[in-house]
Structure 1
């Protein structure tokens, strides 16, 4: 299903964007045709990277002569490209992919041996080159094979590693319900709507989980991406007061978002998934980690306007601060933290950067005014 391939490709892209876009990645597909479609979808999702180097995404399969010619480059520690390889079987065994950091499973795997061989593509440590772990992204529930007593022995759980994950709720689908004998044909109007009709079907991600393993491959916990985000934040900032203090002390608020990205947490993606694009990062973190009610950036900006903090500045300076507040409303606090914003509309109409800071008595006066604006934005409970 083309929609599904595009959705998988976008999830892979989102993960790489939130971690490292140059991380060597193998995408295991059902067959060579699937691998080619996945290559095209990934190329479209990463058009900016493919523009820099067309070999950012390459299909490496048995029948693809061009791809096979790139195999040595892909497995080389010294070569950057290709970065993403889509394949079906060629890379599952006998290929020493030393720098593979992401393994994507989008094929059904019934063989335990094949599964272990595929996972083995990522288990090479290269500490000098910065590879101390790897990630498995599973779209087919193949990682259930990690818990196989015949291969690995009984499952061991570390009792000292909280929290213990809950068993997922079991859902009963309509076609799995035992019908009474002699039951009549159900009313056509009551029949469940088919998943796939003549127009195809809608494909979307309905749930995300994070599984954390220790260095020996033992499962430590499995949790939703939201719970994983909450735990990561609370582990760093135990209370909302601790986090608020850190936020106020941090000169560049975007540094906190970048720090979370290092743990695989992309605030922008999470906000979009929860239809909270218009919520400030500060409010979203407080909501996820500490259960605080959110405010939109528009609501924060309106509260600042009511305080009339701009009246002490001259007319031109007020226009600059009002435009900065509008930028914050639309795009977030990062727009306040860089001088480059003054190079864009509507600021260009007021003159050059050097001319604009003169409205505030110089560069330091401008920085002080922006700092005061920022403090007023976040002083609203």
Structure 2
């Protein structure tokens, strides 16, 4: 009896007998896909995590069941059951073969055989002994629409609402860029809205909720996308023009959206937010709250303190570090964390490659044959990366970097280039447009604070996945956070990134999923890659603060801080430095042609850390004995398409996926060789041969005993193998190859015999191809 028969004949009746699917509010989810599987080269994914059963009661996932066929021990699935329960934050999990049932409590650690599944009410009582009225009410409201249904989003929603029900007043969610923080916030607001929760907790009116961002595009995205689940008359977009036209701030909605600059502006230096009573809002969502909002001197702090009675939810992508420690001090520990590494490994974010680029003019010392166009040079001074485009400008240096970028990237792919400031972004834009292959005059555009409404329009067109122009955007600070452009394939760093917060935000510009997007590439001219080696690049936040109760009483609006004199924003987004005239240098004739460059690609281990080629090979050498003990065993695994695929999936799971193996091929000059030879070299130091040599050595034995038509077919298969590699020998490639060669499976059968016979030939020749 196989597993599916075991489920149908034994496990399903056991669940039904305990009331699952029978009791109102109870559901049984079968083959529940928890993750999507990490994206790999070629558009394939690693194996997703799929639970055999998930039990749901009152809209909460409450148990995991791992099923095994009747002939296997009931505890065969325990490891999987525990793994899935840990990921889903579920207490009770089960492993069964249909005849025996094994129960595990993840919280207490108790486990053992039980006679039957608990009923929905019994399991609810064991799991949620701390339920209160509001927890029950929030749970009764289902997630609305299509967003917010991934496992980690549900956990974030539930944990935040549990905190509200427990009357916590400051709540923090830390979720990687691209994982749907705004969708989570919208679902939290939806449940508050539907249950009529408010600060009085009396259910007499719907809550008034404020979504507070620091950029119009973020407020607009929230208003028009994730929060569109709310009725249009419940949503209010607050802007200065409407306030002036109305003669006051709007008060007739339920969900309000604004940016803090709007709230802090107002007539006679009186901020608009002061027109609302301090207890007007019941719930405030602070988007990208690490951007200064919780800092004692931060621009948002006055708003947050004024509306102190409200429950405040902070959203951030950035785990706590020294440069945003006040965020955690203000909001407390996150109620849920979902990291970039988790998102990539689960297949909800796009993985990335890093190309470090060094040139012979990364540093500069003035020599007398160069011309000083403007400013004063400091003789003998070494001008370093941080000085360029701030105190010294060398156009030829930037031109070389732009040339390297355009040569490295696919010029049809959407790209963001981060520059030192607005002037630098302008110069790089012009250089790109001068060197581009495209004939479109709008191919590259600058989007900075100075570009105003026109820049916003360029950004909207860049975000539109149906449009290809503009293809490249240059920026300084403005695009480093919160901009949802799913099809970004390249991130170029032409300025130092000193803050880990900003670095993670910039990397997040490329992580969003898009059809056909297998990875994105970071082109690093400024050694920003060292952030990846930081112990806290993607780790758990370190608690360096003592939690204190936030102020509860209303306070008056604080005086407005001074805006930036250049861009006029309270939180400067222009990157312009007010300093003396920049030094401009023109290199001597021909010197720019002498600038050399080098591109190196990094390996990344399974835990998200960069490693050298040698370290990668040493680690790989140490890991391989777990899968094969000898060269002969490796040949046996590799020569069968089924065992080969299973083996590749297993080593991919520990950090040696197709991407990494292909990069290693290049590093050891084995691009024209089989991946088998790469593994054979790393493990046993055997010489590498090309695929063409392998075919030449094995062809005679492969053709021995075959008829002419079979030889003709294998000739075709081997030519594809020589051209493209071992994936052409995968089992699922067989029908593709047959259709390519014969245009229809029926035609192939006429020449080669039935499908089983063709499959036998396809499998058998591979044993000979990989024999010694």
TM-score by length of 1: 0.56
User: Given the superposition, is the C-alpha separation of residues 201 and 259 from structure 1 closer, same or farther in structure 2, using an over 3 Å criterion?
Assistant: same
What secondary structure is seen at the aligned counterpart in 1 of 2:693?
A: helix
Contact 1:99 1:122 in 2 (8 A): no
What secondary structure is seen at the aligned counterpart in 2 of 1:87?
A: strand
In structure 2, runs of 5+ residues without a counterpart are 1-396, 515-519, 535-541, 543-589
C-alpha deviation, 1:378, in angstroms: 1.3
Partner of residue 287 from structure 1, selected from 666, 676, 681 = 681
User: Given the superposition, is the C-alpha separation of residues 306 and 11 from structure 1 closer, same or farther in structure 2, using an over 3 Å criterion?
Assistant: same
What secondary structure is seen at the aligned counterpart in 2 of 1:292?
A: coil
Question: How far, CA to CA, are the matches of 1:213 and 1:323 in structure 2?
Answer: 37
Partner of residue 317 from structure 1, selected from 689, 710, 725 = 710
User: Given the superposition, is the C-alpha separation of residues 294 and 147 from structure 1 closer, same or farther in structure 2, using an over 3 Å criterion?
Assistant: closer
User: Given the superposition, is the C-alpha separation of residues 315 and 136 from structure 1 closer, same or farther in structure 2, using an over 3 Å criterion?
Assistant: closer
Q: Residue 371 of structure 1 corresponds to which residue in structure 2?
A: 763
1:201-246 CA-partner distances (Å, limit 9, x unpaired): 55442x33346697xxxxx854224633663685476354475554
Q: Is the aligned partner of 1:227 residue 2:615? A: yes
Q: Is the aligned partner of 1:68 residue 2:456? A: yes
User: Given the superposition, is the C-alpha separation of residues 340 and 209 from structure 1 closer, same or farther in structure 2, using an over 3 Å criterion?
Assistant: closer
User: Given the superposition, is the C-alpha separation of residues 26 and 354 from structure 1 closer, same or farther in structure 2, using an over 3 Å criterion?
Assistant: same
Q: Residue 86 of structure 1 corresponds to which residue in structure 2?
A: 473
Contact 1:105 1:142 in 2 (8 A): no
1:2-37 CA-partner distances (Å, limit 9, x unpaired): 6654544566669xxxxxx9xx97432452332465
C-alpha deviation, 1:96, in angstroms: 1.9
Question: How far, CA to CA, are the matches of 1:140 and 1:265 in structure 2?
Answer: 25
Q: Is the aligned partner of 1:208 residue 2:601? A: yes
Q: Please give the residue correspondences for 1:1-381 in structure 2 after superposition, counting only pairs within 5 Å.
A: 4-5=401-402, 7-8=404-405, 26-29=416-419, 31-35=425-429, 59-62=445-448, 68-71=456-459, 86-91=473-478, 95-97=481-483, 104-109=491-496, 112=498, 116-122=501-507, 138-144=524-530, 199-201=593-595, 203-205=597-599, 207-210=600-603, 222-225=610-613, 227-228=615-616, 231=619, 235=623, 238=626, 240-241=628-629, 244=635, 246-251=637-642, 256=648, 259=652, 265-288=659-682, 291-307=685-701, 309-336=702-729, 337-344=733-740, 347=741, 353-380=745-772
Aligned length: 302
What secondary structure is seen at the aligned counterpart in 2 of 1:368?
A: helix
Question: How far, CA to CA, are the matches of 1:333 and 1:262 in structure 2?
Answer: 16
Moved more, 255-264 or 239-248: 255-264
What secondary structure is seen at the aligned counterpart in 2 of 1:27?
A: strand
User: Given the superposition, is the C-alpha separation of residues 84 and 363 from structure 1 closer, same or farther in structure 2, using an over 3 Å criterion?
Assistant: same
What secondary structure is seen at the aligned counterpart in 2 of 1:277?
A: coil
Contact 1:283 1:295 in 2 (8 A): yes
TM-score by length of 2: 0.31
Question: How far, CA to CA, are the matches of 1:145 and 1:269 in structure 2?
Answer: 22
1:143-164 CA-partner distances (Å, limit 9, x unpaired): 447889xxxxxxx9xxxxxxxx
Question: How far, CA to CA, are the matches of 1:341 and 1:322 in structure 2?
Answer: 12
What secondary structure is seen at the aligned counterpart in 2 of 1:376?
A: helix
User: Given the superposition, is the C-alpha separation of residues 122 and 222 from structure 1 closer, same or farther in structure 2, using an over 3 Å criterion?
Assistant: closer
User: Given the superposition, is the C-alpha separation of residues 35 and 371 from structure 1 closer, same or farther in structure 2, using an over 3 Å criterion?
Assistant: farther
Contact 1:58 1:67 in 2 (8 A): no
Contact 2:493 2:522 in 1 (8 A): no
What secondary structure is seen at the aligned counterpart in 1 of 2:686?
A: coil
User: Given the superposition, is the C-alpha separation of residues 311 and 357 from structure 1 closer, same or farther in structure 2, using an over 3 Å criterion?
Assistant: farther
1:313-363 CA-partner distances (Å, limit 9, x unpaired): 32222222233223323332333433333454xx46xx8543333332222
Question: How far, CA to CA, are the matches of 2:697 and 2:710 in structure 1?
Answer: 20
User: Given the superposition, is the C-alpha separation of residues 296 and 379 from structure 1 closer, same or farther in structure 2, using an over 3 Å criterion?
Assistant: same
What secondary structure is seen at the aligned counterpart in 2 of 1:265?
A: helix
C-alpha deviation, 1:371, in angstroms: 0.9
Structure of greater Rg:
2
C-alpha deviation, 1:283, in angstroms: 0.9
What secondary structure is seen at the aligned counterpart in 1 of 2:478?
A: coil
What secondary structure is seen at the aligned counterpart in 1 of 2:611?
A: strand
Question: How far, CA to CA, are the matches of 1:305 and 1:135 in structure 2?
Answer: 40
Contact 1:26 1:104 in 2 (8 A): yes
C-alpha deviation, 1:312, in angstroms: 2.3
User: Given the superposition, is the C-alpha separation of residues 3 and 362 from structure 1 closer, same or farther in structure 2, using an over 3 Å criterion?
Assistant: farther
User: Given the superposition, is the C-alpha separation of residues 222 and 320 from structure 1 closer, same or farther in structure 2, using an over 3 Å criterion?
Assistant: closer
Question: How far, CA to CA, are the matches of 1:213 and 1:312 in structure 2?
Answer: 46
Question: How far, CA to CA, are the matches of 1:231 and 1:287 in structure 2?
Answer: 14
C-alpha deviation, 1:368, in angstroms: 0.9
Question: How far, CA to CA, are the matches of 1:233 and 1:39 in structure 2?
Answer: 47
Q: Residue 223 of structure 2 corresponds to which residue in structure 1?
A: none
User: Given the superposition, is the C-alpha separation of residues 213 and 247 from structure 1 closer, same or farther in structure 2, using an over 3 Å criterion?
Assistant: closer
Contact 1:98 1:122 in 2 (8 A): no
Question: How far, CA to CA, are the matches of 2:434 and 2:684 in structure 1?
Answer: 41
Contact 2:447 2:458 in 1 (8 A): no
C-alpha deviation, 1:266, in angstroms: 4.8
Question: How far, CA to CA, are the matches of 1:80 and 1:290 in structure 2?
Answer: 50
What secondary structure is seen at the aligned counterpart in 1 of 2:626?
A: coil
Q: Residue 178 of structure 1 corresponds to which residue in structure 2?
A: none
Moved more, 252-261 or 4-13: 252-261
C-alpha deviation, 1:282, in angstroms: 1.4
Contact 1:25 1:103 in 2 (8 A): yes
Contact 1:27 1:87 in 2 (8 A): yes
User: Given the superposition, is the C-alpha separation of residues 127 and 300 from structure 1 closer, same or farther in structure 2, using an over 3 Å criterion?
Assistant: closer
What secondary structure is seen at the aligned counterpart in 2 of 1:86?
A: strand
